[in-house]
């Protein structure tokens, strides 16, 4: 066994069907009496049903959550917190709504209950990305870690086929990178393999029948496992590329993860053979990168950056940005290799391992 350091994050997790009925007890368990329920505007109906169910424990509903946590929206929500004298928040939704709850917690220390309805995994991390003046900045702080996560499988039945597929692969990406990051550790690696396997089993079944409750349950369980991995350890090349593509080219979050993952994995494969073997085993395949590429095909997810809006003339700039301030990565970040990875992802080509650099001057050791 290699030496390791493992820091477990505190978490209370309630998982099951119909668990939304337990939210009132969780509010009381936190010693709170006036919860502000957060949602996006399309999920306002669910948020209002929850508020009605909570009765006096609900102070109100704020349905302004949007992608990338803009500070103007947070400021508006903060005014509602003040006006309603809220003493906790309940974020019902995906990463966008959970991001808003975290942004409020950062400013107020109000306790958070989160009810995730996608597979993005933000509920289990200390990470918060916020946008101001069109610029997104990300920070890690334990102040934003939710106190309670309530997973209610029933709420995920309405997640559309497309988002179910891409959000599921977004979760898988967290676990894949957890297996080869610098601070990988045996506990999280176990969870990573478990999470990838659960999602790889569930996503094809959901693609065939989004109302398959057992598959939905496996997928949400996998999402919890994968999100916990990202919360506990760092991320590497794959997440860096997705941050560049999302941040500088405004590409959609979960779709970008889905397209890039097989290519980032192919790039890293020679430097992380043990991790690759575990990913392949979890997918039930022989080659991790190829297995992820095939999974995307099977679940009808996009496989090219072209089809999700990337301009081809942006590939050079994306490669420059990815190389300029890289995250730690098991394989050195090398400009030509990254450029060819991005081209393959743009074209939707089968993932391949780019050749090693020809001159040391081209290599950036992250």
Q: Could you list the residues that contact ligand NAD (CB under 6 A)? A: 40, 42-43, 67-68, 93-97, 99, 117-118, 120-122, 125, 127-129, 155-156, 158-159, 163, 167, 253-254
Shorter beta-carbon distance to ligand NAD: residue 64 or 99: 99
CB of 161 to ligand NAD, least distance (A): 11
Q: Minimum distance from CB of 357 to ligand NAD (Å)?
A: 31
Q: Which is nearer to ligand NAD, 209 or 347 (CB)?
A: 209
Residue closer to ligand NAD, measured from CB, 35 or 153: 153
Which of 96, 256, 248, 115 lies closest to 173, judged by CA?
Answer: 256
Closest residue to ligand NAD: CB criterion:
95
Q: Could you give the count of Cα atoms lying within 13 Å of 187 in the half-sphere of its Cβ?
A: 12
Minimum distance from CB of 50 to ligand NAD (Å)?
13
| CB 280 to ligand NAD: min, Å | 25
Phi and psi angles of residue 364, each rounded to the nearest 5 degrees, phi first = -110, 115
Least distance CB 349 / ligand NAD (angstroms):
25
Rounded to an integer, what distance in angstroms lies between the CA atom of residue 20 and that of residue 13? 13
Which lies closer to ligand NAD via its Cβ, residue 163 or residue 215?
163
Instruction: Decide whether 173 or 269 has the Cβ nearer to ligand NAD.
Output: 173
Residue 113 to residues 92, 335, 356, Cα–Cα distance (Å): 9, 43, 47
Q: Report the C-alpha gap between 99 and 295 in whole angstroms.
A: 28
Looking at the Cβ atoms of 261 and 280, the one nearer to ligand NAD is 261
Q: Rounded to an integer, what distance in angstroms lies between the CA atom of residue 36 and that of residue 53?
A: 13
Bridge partners (DSSP) of residue 334 are: 363
Alpha-helical segments (H) within 85-131: 95-108
Alpha carbon distances (Å) from 86 to 30, 44, 75, 83: 13, 18, 15, 8
Q: How far is 294 from 318, CA to CA, in rounded Å?
A: 25
Cβ of 204: how many Cβ atoms within 10 Å?
A: 15
Residue 118: CB minimum distance to ligand NAD, A = 3
Closer residue to ligand NAD in complex, CB, 110/220:
220
Query: Which residue number, 59 or 127, has a Cβ lying nearer to ligand NAD?
Result: 127
- Give the integer Cα–Cα distance in Å for 291 and 52: 45
Least distance between ligand NAD and beta carbon 172 (Å) = 12
Question: What is the DSSP track for 193-237?
Answer: HHHHHHHHHHHHHHHH-TT-HHHHHHHHHHHHHHHHHHHHS---H
Min dist CB 99 to ligand NAD, Å, is: 5
CB of 158 to ligand NAD, least distance (A): 4
The tokens of 188 are what? 């999280």
Is the CA virtual torsion 190, 171, 177, 98 positive or negative? negative
């Amino acid at each position: 066994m290699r030496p390791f350091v493992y820091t477990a994050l505190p978490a209370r997790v309630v998982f099951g069907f119909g668990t939304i009925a337990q939210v009132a007890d969780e509010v009381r368990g936190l010693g709170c009496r006036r919860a502000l329920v957060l949602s996006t505007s399309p999920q306002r109906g669910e948020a209002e049903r929850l508020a009605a169910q909570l009765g006096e424990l609900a102070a109100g509903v704020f349905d302004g959550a949007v992608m990338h946590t803009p500070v103007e929206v947070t400021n508006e929500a903060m005014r509602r917190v003040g006006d309603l004298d809220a003493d906790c928040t309940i974020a019902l939704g995906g990463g966008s709504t959970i991001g808003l709850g975290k942004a409020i917690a950062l400013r107020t220390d109000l306790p958070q209950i989160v009810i995730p309805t996608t597979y993005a995994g933000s509920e289990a991390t200390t990470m918060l990305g916020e946008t101001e003046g069109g610029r997104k900045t990300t920070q890690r702080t334990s102040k934003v870690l939710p106190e309670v996560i309530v997973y209610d499988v029933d709420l995920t039945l309405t997640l559309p086929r497309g988002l179910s597929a891409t959000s599921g692969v977004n979760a898988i990406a967290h676990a894949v990178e957890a297996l080869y990051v610098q601070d990988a550790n045996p506990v999280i690696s176990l969870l990573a393999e478990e999470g990838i396997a659960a999602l790889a089993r569930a996503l094809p079944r959901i693609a065939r029948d989004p109302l398959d409750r057992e598959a939905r349950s496996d997928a949400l369980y996998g999402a919890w496992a994968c999100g916990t991995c990202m919360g506990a350890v760092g991320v590497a090349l794959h997440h860096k590329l997705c941050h560049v593509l999302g941040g500088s080219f405004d590409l959609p979050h979960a779709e970008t993860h889905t397209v890039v993952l097989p290519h980032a994995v192919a790039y890293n494969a020679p430097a992380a053979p043990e991790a690759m073997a575990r990913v392949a085993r979890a997918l039930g395949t022989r080659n991790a990168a190829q297995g992820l590429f095939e999974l995307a095909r099977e679940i009808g997810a996009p496989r090219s950056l072209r089809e999700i809006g990337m301009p081809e003339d942006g590939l050079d700039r994306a490669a420059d940005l990815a190389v300029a301030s890289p995250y730690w990565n098991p394989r050195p970040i090398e400009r030509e290799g990254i450029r060819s990875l991005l081209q393959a992802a743009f074209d939707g080509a089968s993932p391949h391992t780019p050749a090693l650099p020809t001159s040391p001057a081209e290599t950036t050791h992250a």
